[in-house]
Structure 1
Amino acid sequence: MSDNDKQQQGPENGGNPWMKSLLIWVGILAALALFVTMFDNRNAPATGDAISYSQFIAKVNNGEVKSVNIARGTGVVTGSFTNDSKFRTNAPEDPQMIRNLLDKNVQVTARAEETPSIWFYLLYQSLPFLLMLGIAFFVIRQMQKGSGSGAMGFGKSRARLLTQKEGKVTFDDVAGIDEAREELQEIVEFLKDPTKFARLGGKIPKGALLVGSPGTGKTLLARAIAGEAGVPFFTISGSDFVEMFVGVGASRVRDMFEQAKKSAPCIVFIDEIDAVGRSRGAGLGNQNDEREQTLNQLLVEMDGFEANEGIIIIAATNRPDVLDPALLRPGRFDRQVQVPRPDIEGRVKILQVHMKKVPLAPDVEPRVIARGTPGFSGADLANLVNEAALLAARRGKRLVAAQEFDDARDKVLMGAERRSMVMTDDEKRMTAYHEAGHALVFAHEPTADPIHKATIIPRGFALGMVQPLPERDSYSYHRDKMHADIAVAFGGRIAEELIFGYDKVSSGASNDIMQATRLARAMVTKWGLSDNVGPLDFSESDEAYGYSMARAKPMSDETARLIDSEVKAFVERGLGRARQLLTDHIDQLHTIAQALLEFETLTGEEIKRLIAGEDLGREDPGTAARPTAVAGTSIPKIRKPKGPFGQPTPQGA
């Protein structure tokens, strides 16, 4: 058996752990039963009815006793009466008792006192202590199984060695992050041919730090490096180093590098390194001593006096800002490789990789799916393909069609359909007009994204939605696009106000208002798009979330009032644009809303046909063909919106 196979041998190869545990518990229960049996046998009382010694003598004198059995050394007398009933009594030292029994023709037998051997006595006395020691040893051994073999294995490394038997991963399995692959290709070439770089005096980077959002493929990329180079791959999590006992983490770091040296050249992958690599000195007292000692040992092993030739350290994190600066200096993690979320071309490649294992229908277009999944990571796309396959299997299909991918995307983004949700006709009608308002503003705003579909089927916390389908990924936004997005956000609320009146406006636009307000505030405080405020930064934002995390900096009261007035002006401008568009195309609003009430879901192409006055060309199950506007349906009149004091509401900037 090779060294790799020995390291890979686990409980499944070394014996069944369940059978071992079962045998141990059977042994413990058997020892406990033996102890109870011995105790009961020693203290078991003699059989028969208990009588006094005086009664016993009287029975003997009356001739009612047939036989007795005397236990020597204990004074216990058992026997039977002439009517065959049993008795027992305790007799004092009476030398006349035997003579009296013989005179009355009583059959007398004697039982000698049993003296146990010294070994039996020692076993009897020590059995409880042995039983307790056995149970304690078993519990401690079970607790230490994850920390290494035996009681001294607590400081052993928990790094697992992955071999080619567990599935070889190459760069062909990694898609959508071409730049990261190219940066790490040099490490693969070094592991294949170290002399190529040594001839020119070059030194390969000792470590590479993969930085990216969760699910972008950092672990998969590290495994692909090992698969391409054909070298052993050790993997461990940053949290596996830190324990409650000081010094254990440092011991595990030393043991991990000792194991890696035996398998060099190799790759050691530390996932979530921020668990052990946070900046030192951030806390006081002993609570951080263990973590800091572990980090110190890791720094020394990576670039200390001893050279770890042939060991490449690859770590992954999504929080590079909290890492200790000593980790990031040259000689340790020389390179920081960004693993971003894939763009549309990357998503197409990732979908093609995951779709190889799924039987697809002819109508599945990876590029269309990629357009509808902006911001999805590689893990999100893998989950999307899996959800589509599960939906197809649930529906009894043999191929996964585009409809399953569309439904899977809606389920991932919004949650499962809530068709069992009970809604009144008025609520359905208001939801239809709300979503129709969004869709109509989408369609008439030149800079807005194309519509993918509109639906009034409840999903998650939403009663309906209008989903855009961007033509491409956007890395920057223009002023006109932002104003259009604000107008689109208020399309649903304005539609409710126009159709049902000022007093019937619902709370369904709460999320729309939140998004529009955040976008308007980011335009004023972060992107300098307000002429009155100017190109000044008044926000502290997290780049990972964009404008949604904008927080106001300390500022004067006058500046705060100016910012609030500008944000309100931007929002009211969007309100005015939405109201103007819906008022000018009120007939189209009715047409789209009635179609949503009939069919529940409309595609972007169908909405375009309705706006153009064309027939949808489809039938609802069990009904005749529907015209663009349902015949006989009463269309509510447009009500002039009124403010809280009877004054017309502002039409926007």
Structure 2
Amino acid sequence: MNDMTKNILLWLVIGLVLVSVFKNFEGAKMQSQEIEFSQLIKEIENGRIVALDSGIESATATRSNGDQVTAVIPPGAHESLVDAALEKGIDYKGQPPEGQSTLFAIFISWFPMLLLIGVWIFFMRQMQGGGKGGAMSFGKSKAKLLSEDQIKTTFADVAGCEEAKEEVSELVEFLREPSKFQKLGGKIPRGVLMVGPPGTGKTLIAKAISGEAKVPFFTISGSDFVEMFVGVGASRVRDMFAEAKKQAPCIIFIDEIDAVGRHRGAGLGGGHDEREQTLNQLLVEMDGFDGGEGVIVIAATNRPDVLDPALLRPGRFDRQVTVGLPDIKGREQILKVHMRKVPLADNVNPNAIARGTPGFSGADLANLVNEAALFAAKANSRTVTQEFFEKAKDKILMGTERRSMVMSEEEKLNTAWHEAGHAIVGRLVPSHDPVYKVSIIPRGRALGVTMYLPEQDRFSYSKEYLESQLSSLYGGRIAEEMLNGPEKVTTGASNDIQRATDIARNMITQWGFSEKLGPLTYAEDEGEVFLGRSVTQTKHVSDDTATVIDQEIKDLIHKNYQRAERLLKENKDKLEKMADALMKYETIDANQIDDIMEGKDPRPPEDWNDDNDTGKTGKTGGADKVETPKSQSEGPIGGPAAQP
């Protein structure tokens, strides 16, 4: 805000100066007319002049009609002008000699050019980072220095990654007491690479190391090094390490190092000379002839596969610390850390919330606590209860409710059958994740949601589990066909078909679940992203093998499609009962689903009363999603397809 205010004031001053200068120039031209000295003498003698203001070099006269004229006085002619004015009785006013009038005139004439030069220098300073280095700061480091007193983060603020904390805790001892290790011949590690998915706490751990060790902390992003001019990034690396050596022992944290540390000569940006020079300079500074003793470089990335091998060798990034997604115990610890700032009700159970949030990162859990606090604030509650956490979890997993969407009764009924088909098949096939909630209320981009939550964290997937996913994915389309017939099946299952095809293709080409093809890999996951989806490239195989692959995928899907169809036809009464419950209640959870699967009438939801029966309003529901929310496309159903 201060910089913005300074810039506004600077532009106001420049504008005022320009306006005043140009007004003075224009005013001087408009107020007086230049005439010859001889003409001025004649007009005085003819009585046309009533007042005279004379200096040494020029004189300004006022005519009887009020006009002003100016004349330049020739050398030695000033006395004759004065005599003529006194002889006619004209009001005469003299001016003392002006000092440095020539220099002032030169300054006035050059002022616009000087002003333009000043503005150009100002813009150059802004483009080059401005500040301390002036116009020579273009190659200066953009790293932000935080002193030991400014960093309040400690290991107590980091939860859910105990192994990573234990591995980096040695760095604190290195920084506090390096002589303890050096006297035995040990060397302080030059670099630590934090690897893990986004939001798992890599930056937080780096700050905690600095906070525990009480040492200065330089922070910079990998993209801050690279510029369009070759050599600037390398200069900034040199300057950053030079500043760090002055503050040693200290920590340099480089976030998103893959922006500058990509493999040289391959991949994206392989021919970028500026990026490669920056990387070369970083390699030299980390382990060159002049090593930076006491300077530890901590870098973070979620793409270690694209980093140059020279960065990962011993002597540079000596250690690679994996910061993965937290397990149930870690999630509970992270929730407790974020719940410290929130007034909690007595019924809040962090363990229950942790069990219902598999696959959540630390950032996701922080967002969950924040959303729950926002729900409580909207309800004017003094504390955050367990119900608000459940609402926040549903919003994150399934999206925000869109109750204003008006759907016809026919579309709403079609959605109810579709979602009931997913839920019933998911309940009947083996090894499937339990059905958590079914809703025909539009949420986010989805027009209907069937949500599954695993009972425990999964780290691998069996063939039985994957085939059960295929069956449940096709349950919605089959239920639609049972309701309306084959001619009236909608496009609502397009996303289900896409995800089922991806799972089946990976089972055949990557995971070795085909008896004909055997446990061989026929596809390579290049890790590339196209239109938001990971691209799996098929290896070059013969036409006969490609035909067998396609047939195996088709047979696998057909087998599980038939299984889902058989299960739904055998349990059509339960399908109808669940669809009716969805039409009445719009959302049902595990308790109502249990009642339906046992052949009972489903109990009303806990917050249900007869006055809020919206089953006949026609304002919710709709055909199932073409695009599903994160909970389905990237959650328990879609998860296996994305696994290596």
Query: 2:492 maps to which residue?
Result: 508
Query: 1:252 maps to which residue?
Result: 236
Q: Which amino acid aligns with 1:604?
A: A
Deviation at 1:71, TM superposition (A): 8.0
| Structure 1 stretch displaced more, 445-454 or 373-382 | 373-382
Do residues 299 (structure 1) and 283 (structure 2) align?
Answer: yes
Deviation at 1:135, TM superposition (A): 2.2
Query: 2:381 maps to which residue?
Result: 397
Q: 2:346 aligns with which of 313, 337, 362?
A: 362
| Structure 1 stretch displaced more, 214-223 or 356-365 | 356-365
| 1:318-357 equivalences in 2 (<5 Å) | 318-357=302-341
TM-score norm. by structure 1 comes to 0.82
Q: 1:585 aligns with which of 571, 576, 594?
A: 571
Provide the aligned C-alpha RMSD in A. Answer: 3.7
Distance of aligned partners of 1:506 and 1:620 in 2 relative to their CA distance in 1, 3 Å threshold: farther
Distance in 2 of aligned mates of 1:357 and 1:599 = 36
Query: 2:543 maps to which residue?
Result: 557
Do residues 38 (structure 1) and 24 (structure 2) align?
Answer: yes
Q: 2:585 aligns with which of 591, 595, 599?
A: 599
Q: Which amino acid aligns with 1:441?
A: V
CA contact (8 A) 1:68 1:106 kept: no
Query: 1:648 maps to which residue?
Result: none
Deviations 1:201-259 (A, max 9, x none): 22232111111122121111111111222222111111222223333222222221222
Query: 1:616 maps to which residue?
Result: 603
Distance of aligned partners of 1:413 and 1:370 in 2 relative to their CA distance in 1, 3 Å threshold: same
Q: Which amino acid aligns with 2:610?
A: T
Query: 2:14 maps to which residue?
Result: 28
| 1:109-188 equivalences in 2 (<5 Å) | 117-146=101-130, 148-188=132-172
Distance in 2 of aligned mates of 1:625 and 1:614 = 19
Q: Secondary structure at the match of 1:307?
A: coil
| 1:472-483 equivalences in 2 (<5 Å) | 472-483=456-467
Do residues 528 (structure 1) and 512 (structure 2) align?
Answer: yes
Q: Secondary structure at the match of 1:361?
A: coil
Distance in 2 of aligned mates of 1:498 and 1:78 = 105
Q: Which amino acid aligns with 1:249?
A: G
Distance in 2 of aligned mates of 1:383 and 1:284 = 33
**Higher relative contact order, structure no. (Cα contacts within 8 Å, ≥ 6 residues apart):** 2
Deviation at 1:75, TM superposition (A): 10
Q: Which amino acid aligns with 1:310?
A: G
Distance in 2 of aligned mates of 1:365 and 1:192 = 39
Q: 2:295 aligns with which of 300, 303, 311?
A: 311
Distance in 2 of aligned mates of 1:222 and 1:498 = 57
Distance in 2 of aligned mates of 1:124 and 1:543 = 65
Structure 2's unaligned 5+ residue stretches are: 34-38, 74-79, 617-644
Query: 1:7 maps to which residue?
Result: none
Distance of aligned partners of 1:134 and 1:620 in 2 relative to their CA distance in 1, 3 Å threshold: closer
Distance in 2 of aligned mates of 1:395 and 1:625 = 18
Deviation at 1:278, TM superposition (A): 2.1
Q: Which amino acid aligns with 1:588?
A: K
Deviation at 1:600, TM superposition (A): 0.9
Distance of aligned partners of 1:337 and 1:361 in 2 relative to their CA distance in 1, 3 Å threshold: same
Query: 1:639 maps to which residue?
Result: none
Q: 1:489 aligns with which of 467, 470, 473?
A: 473
Q: Secondary structure at the match of 1:334?
A: strand
Query: 2:392 maps to which residue?
Result: 408
CA contact (8 A) 2:426 2:434 kept: yes
Deviation at 1:486, TM superposition (A): 0.9
Query: 1:637 maps to which residue?
Result: none
Q: Secondary structure at the match of 2:458?
A: coil
Distance in 2 of aligned mates of 1:115 and 1:533 = 107
Higher Rg = 1
Query: 1:634 maps to which residue?
Result: none
Deviation at 1:164, TM superposition (A): 4.5
Q: Which amino acid aligns with 2:436?
A: H
| 1:157-306 equivalences in 2 (<5 Å) | 157-282=141-266, 288-306=272-290
Q: Secondary structure at the match of 1:44?
A: helix
CA contact (8 A) 1:226 1:233 kept: yes
Distance in 1 of aligned mates of 2:359 and 2:267 = 36
Deviations 1:510-566 (A, max 9, x none): 111111111111111112212222222111125799x97543222222222222222
Structure 1's unaligned 5+ residue stretches are: 1-11, 48-52, 631-653
Give the fraction of aligned pairs with identical amino acids, expressed as a percent.
Answer: 53
Deviation at 1:595, TM superposition (A): 0.9
Distance of aligned partners of 1:164 and 1:231 in 2 relative to their CA distance in 1, 3 Å threshold: closer
Distance in 1 of aligned mates of 2:68 and 2:207 = 82
Distance in 2 of aligned mates of 1:41 and 1:615 = 90
Distance in 2 of aligned mates of 1:542 and 1:280 = 17
| Structure 1 stretch displaced more, 113-122 or 280-289 | 280-289
Distance in 2 of aligned mates of 1:294 and 1:128 = 41
Distance in 2 of aligned mates of 1:217 and 1:177 = 8
Distance in 2 of aligned mates of 1:373 and 1:542 = 29
Do residues 432 (structure 1) and 432 (structure 2) align?
Answer: no
Q: Secondary structure at the match of 1:335?
A: strand
Q: Secondary structure at the match of 2:135?
A: coil
Deviations 1:604-638 (A, max 9, x none): 12210222215505588652899xx99xxxxxxxx
| Structure 1 stretch displaced more, 67-76 or 216-225 | 67-76
Q: Which amino acid aligns with 1:424?
A: S
Q: 2:430 aligns with which of 446, 450, 471?
A: 446
Q: Which amino acid aligns with 1:160?
A: K
Query: 1:644 maps to which residue?
Result: none
Deviations 1:561-603 (A, max 9, x none): 2222221111111111111111111111111111111111111
| Structure 1 stretch displaced more, 427-436 or 571-580 | 571-580
Distance in 2 of aligned mates of 1:23 and 1:381 = 44
CA contact (8 A) 2:261 2:311 kept: yes
Q: Which amino acid aligns with 2:111?
A: L
Distance in 2 of aligned mates of 1:284 and 1:346 = 36
Q: Which amino acid aligns with 2:567?
A: L
Do residues 371 (structure 1) and 371 (structure 2) align?
Answer: no
Q: Which amino acid aligns with 1:616?
A: R
Distance of aligned partners of 1:280 and 1:66 in 2 relative to their CA distance in 1, 3 Å threshold: closer
Q: Which amino acid aligns with 1:169?
A: T
Deviation at 1:143, TM superposition (A): 3.1
Distance of aligned partners of 1:43 and 1:439 in 2 relative to their CA distance in 1, 3 Å threshold: same
Deviation at 1:67, TM superposition (A): 6.6
Distance in 2 of aligned mates of 1:414 and 1:78 = 86
Q: Secondary structure at the match of 1:336?
A: strand
CA contact (8 A) 2:527 2:534 kept: no
Query: 2:627 maps to which residue?
Result: none
Distance in 2 of aligned mates of 1:539 and 1:286 = 25
Distance of aligned partners of 1:544 and 1:488 in 2 relative to their CA distance in 1, 3 Å threshold: farther
Distance of aligned partners of 1:68 and 1:450 in 2 relative to their CA distance in 1, 3 Å threshold: same
Deviation at 1:457, TM superposition (A): 0.7
Query: 1:462 maps to which residue?
Result: 446
Distance in 2 of aligned mates of 1:604 and 1:456 = 15
CA contact (8 A) 1:67 1:106 kept: no
Distance in 2 of aligned mates of 1:174 and 1:87 = 84
Distance in 2 of aligned mates of 1:454 and 1:401 = 23
CA contact (8 A) 1:519 1:548 kept: no
Q: Secondary structure at the match of 1:209?
A: strand
Distance in 2 of aligned mates of 1:118 and 1:348 = 81
Distance of aligned partners of 1:365 and 1:134 in 2 relative to their CA distance in 1, 3 Å threshold: same
